[in-house]
Chain A
Amino acid sequence: QVQLVESGGGVVQPGGSLRLSCAASGFIFSIYGMHWVRQAPGKGLEWVAFIRHDGSKHYADSVKGRFTISRDNSKNMLYLQMISLRAEDTAVYYCAKVGSEERDFDFWGQGTLVTVSS
């Protein structure tokens, strides 16, 4: 069965950097696009970034220029490199797999918490 396991969250100071990872299993990782979606404490879901199976990358305006999504198909791994972190980036970060037409999110990981605070 599909499994997505995020890691790498933690506490970081404003202006700092962090790299999140998502280990995928149970499906052919290389042929599916993958997303990062975040949820600030007590708030709703916010789409963050998407990487297609072909490696093309797309970002929400709120993170463009600061976050970089990447993947390593040989390791079945998804990454999110975050720099210039702000307090408003504090959230649980979920990785999610695209559905059959690449327009929805059919499986989600359990999330990893990023806290940006001095």
Chain B
Amino acid sequence: QQPVQSPQAVILREGEDAVINCSSSKALYSVHWYRQKHGEAPVFLMILLKGGEQKGHEKISASFNEKKQQSSLYLTASQLSYSGTYFCGTSNFGNEKLTFGTGTRLTIIP
């Protein structure tokens, strides 16, 4: 079951904050976040494995709410380099297969 990401696209000015959501209709075991710039390969951001876990990566952090079966990616004080498409990948208990959402296209303008 493919996770649902929202919003599909967002345009921000440099310095603004963004939240990208990823939700699943099935119980989640893990959530993986990747960023893909146009014409490039996806690049790993972080993995969240436990319910309620929160992780940070510079000004990019994420939370994982196991009960709500969703994860959110937070981008604080966005920089031009944050532009790209963000994908969440989810796995379910007993199944290592990672299923990616359709992505959220983030555009940062000066």
Do A and B associate with each other?
no
